Structure 1
């Protein structure tokens, strides 16, 4: 066993099919807060307990009391490390020897690569050819084998499943996975442990792992809290899905929020979001740039566009917050320097 995450080892190794599909949405129950609590114990001392920061400027701007959960300061630069560490830790021994497969535009890729390196598990990652160069470099730097694809013409899930099956790897998708959702929920659990109950929790939304996990934590630790997901304006599949009561699929959106360019919610994330999330709003890219500038100038932090979604909802008034105690999950800080400079210069 590598230094880091503990793991559960079954009495006997699963079949190949079970290895490839281990922890996926197929045939598994929905995660609960008990899974979040287990994940907290499992990743304690490995994932950072990130700080919760405040800003008088932000409070004055919104008329609210904002508590920023700074997952941009997490290992590998984003909340994704929580779920990745939890999922890798839960792998049976045979699956660990064979290795894991993941697909991601960057943050899940880096998280799986780092968690795998900590646990000495081989990792293969499918990444879009236009993923930010620094995210690709970091993923390779953690020791993962990176395969690229065209996100606008190729189906990443089909490609990843094919590679995983051919190589006998365990597929760990970026959001629709019980251990991933539970791990992501630990960020909100830590936030509530520090702040106590909140009136509103704002969470960025791509495939829904963070939002679903956060909603599980809020239901248990702050039952009166309104949980609100925030998507890029160009990719509102979550908002449409919540309104329609079923998963809505869209074309690959185009937005600077590269970590939220998903086309649909998952079989596990959607029912949790449907039952436990109050609403989903959208914000334009210009609002993300404005929030990036706020974090840089006022809080001296580098935050990637996707990581600004939740804050942008408060700043733009997409979610009225006046007089409320508001949790804002700042989901990540992985943005390449050239793009970051260009965003702030515009």
Structure 2
């Protein structure tokens, strides 16, 4: 297992700079009042391809040597990683194949194809996803870029919290959603190296709470096909991301489906930002656990804004 370092993060930030947005950090006095804390929202919903995963995907794609790049890249993804990998591959002019659950939002399938990627559908389970993907790689020889359990990807995701630290002084904690753990791992990597005093919290749906149960048990507990509106958080931890979670995360906080919808609506209404359900999980956890965060300065990572407008969770 190769564990990325802060030097990898610095290199990644320089490498991906031409291909990503340095996303804004916004505040809301209304939401601050609801929590009793000062919240700083890192708006990765405004990132290239609509999600933070553009960072890790770009770092992985532009780290490849010419021989490997010529074979193209491939991955499995519920949507955002596949979209972002297709975006990065397009920027480098190489092929990208994405294995996606047939139940993934149509908007996310369309986005992968829109960036020039090829979609191969599978059944909505981790088992089916990995089996289908193995067939794709065997046929194409493409470079596998894992959605989160990849040191290149984690180093790229870590650049998000690096920017947050550079722009907001005196943070007490940072919170982000957790599925497979790529963003949380990147956040842990940055903060444990550059700001050890800042705590890291992970937020997760009740209906896909394997990271929370893993955290409590001290070992990875994986669910095969959890059902939640936060479709980007249905995947389990792997060995590399588990390393960061067990070592650096202060707590994993879970929220209900209704709490996710309420937080999503709040961001749309008060901040005029389009965020997807997975992205709203972090604020939902802060609102539910305001006693933990009251009086503190909290970085909240809004991870993505790729919403299927024909299937909003409150319709």
Q: Name the TM-score class by shorter chain.
A: over 0.9
Query: 1:42, 1:202 → 2: CA distance?
Result: 26
Partner of 2:9: 36
2:292 aligns to what SS in structure 1?
coil
Query: 1:222, 1:152 → 2: CA distance?
Result: 37
Is 1:322 the equivalent of 2:270?
no
Query: 2:41, 2:293 → 1: CA distance?
Result: 14
Question: Alignment partner for residue 140 of structure 2, among 143, 167, 176?
Answer: 167
TM-aligned CA distance change 1:318 to 1:169, over 3 Å: farther
Partner of 1:295: 267
Partner of 1:277: 249
Query: 2:126, 2:181 → 1: CA distance?
Result: 23
TM-aligned CA distance change 1:175 to 1:294, over 3 Å: same
**What's the CA shift for 1:300?**
0.5
Partner of 1:156: 129
Is 1:226 the equivalent of 2:199?
yes
Is the contact made by 1:227 and 1:277 (CA closer than 8 Å) also made in structure 2?
yes
User: TM-score normalized by structure 2?
Assistant: 0.97
Partner of 1:59: 32
Partner of 2:73: 100
**What's the CA shift for 1:155?**
2.4
Where do 1:1-346 residues align within 5 Å?
28-152=1-125, 154-262=127-235, 264-317=236-289, 320-340=292-312, 343-345=313-315
**What's the CA shift for 1:229?**
0.6
User: TM-score normalized by structure 1?
Assistant: 0.88
TM-aligned CA distance change 1:175 to 1:196, over 3 Å: same
**What's the CA shift for 1:344?**
4.2
**CA root-mean-square deviation:** 1.3
Query: 1:319, 1:125 → 2: CA distance?
Result: 41
Question: Which segments of structure 1 move beyond 4 Å, counting only runs of 4 or more?
Answer: none
1:66 aligns to what SS in structure 2?
strand
Equivalent pairs counted in the alignment come to: 315
Unaligned runs of 5+ in 2: none
Which shows bigger deviation, 215-224 or 157-166? 157-166
1:290 aligns to what SS in structure 2?
helix
Unaligned runs of 5+ in 1: 1-27
Query: 1:244, 1:32 → 2: CA distance?
Result: 27
Higher helix share: 2
Is the contact made by 2:185 and 2:244 (CA closer than 8 Å) also made in structure 1?
yes
2:212 aligns to what SS in structure 1?
helix
TM-aligned CA distance change 1:205 to 1:319, over 3 Å: farther
TM-aligned CA distance change 1:38 to 1:319, over 3 Å: farther
TM-aligned CA distance change 1:302 to 1:31, over 3 Å: same
